[in-house]
Chain A
Amino acid sequence: QSVLTQPPSVSGAPGQRVTISCTGSSSNIGTHSDVHWYQHFPGTAPKLLIYGNNNRPSGVPDRFSGSKSGTSASLAITGLQAEDEADYYCQSYDSSLSGSVVFGGGTKVTVL
C-alpha cells in the first residue's frame, strides 16, 4: 500500500478536463514538502511533469497543471488529448521516514 493515495484510474473524452487527486498526511504533503508529478508510458522512462507543486519543466504543455492544499494535491489535464493516455504518479518527501521519497500508487488516464 502506497503512502500517498491516488485513484487507480480516471477517464475522459478528448478535449475534456480530468483531475487526479493525491492524498497524503501531516508527515508528507501536509508539511512543507513539495509534491511532484510524473508521466509514465509503459516501457519507457518516467518523465517529470510538474515539480514544486505547480511548476512545469520546459517542454511540458500548459494543459498540465498542479496544485496543493493541506494534505492533498492534484494534477489537472485540460483539453485532454489521445497522447495523454499514460500512468501518472504523485510523489513527495516524508519526514517520518528517514530520507524517504514516497510515491502514490499511480493513476491510469484513459482517453475515451
Chain B
Amino acid sequence: QVQLVESGGGVVQPGRSLRLSCAASGFIFSNNAMNWVRQAPGKGLEWVAYISYDGNNKYYADSVKGRFTISRDNSKKKLYLQMNSLRAEDTAVFYCVRERMALRGCLDIWGQGTMVTVSS
C-alpha cells in the first residue's frame, strides 16, 4: 500500500544539524511533488518545505529559509530534509507528505512523523 516512513529524528543541541529521511513505497515516487510539514508541541500544523516531482523547484517557509534544505532521490524513492542551525523553536514532529498529482497544495498521503527535539 501507499506508505511514507520518516526517520532521522532525535535530540540535538541548538546550533547543530540533523538530516531527516523519508522512504516512499506503493506509488511512483517520481510522479509526485513532496512536502515537509511539522507540528510543534501543543501547536497546529506548519508547512515547512516543498519540492517538485523532478527536484527542480523548491520552496521554504520563512521560518526555515536559509537553514533547511529539501532534496529528493527519485532512484531511491527517498525525500530528505537537511536541517542546520537548529533552534529550540524547531522542536516538533516532522511529517513527510505527498502532494496529490494535478492538485497543487493538496496533501493526500502523510507519514507517521519523526520527532525532533532541540535542547541543550
Contact = CB atoms under 8 A, between A and B. Distances in A.
Interface of A: 2, 33-34, 36, 38, 40, 44-48, 51-52, 57, 87, 89, 91-93, 97-106
Contact of A93 (B46, B105, B109): B105
Contact of B108 (A33, A40, A44, A57): A57
A44 B112 contact: yes
A100 B47 contact: yes
22 contacts: A34-B103, A34-B106, A36-B106, A45-B113, A46-B107, A46-B110, A48-B110, A51-B100, A57-B108, A87-B44, A89-B45, A91-B105, A91-B107, A99-B50, A100-B47, A100-B61, A101-B50, A101-B107, A103-B45, A103-B47, A105-B44, A106-B45
B118 to A, nearest CB: 21
Instruction: Give the interface SS of chain A, mostly helix, strand, loop or mixed.
Output: strand
B111 interface: yes
B112 A45 contact: yes
A104 B111 contact: no
Contacts of B29: none
Contacts of A99: 50, 57-60
Given A87-B44, A101-B47, 15 more contacts: A33-B105, A45-B110, A45-B112, A46-B110, A48-B106, A51-B100, A51-B106, A91-B105, A91-B107, A93-B104, A99-B50, A101-B37, A101-B50, A103-B44, A104-B44
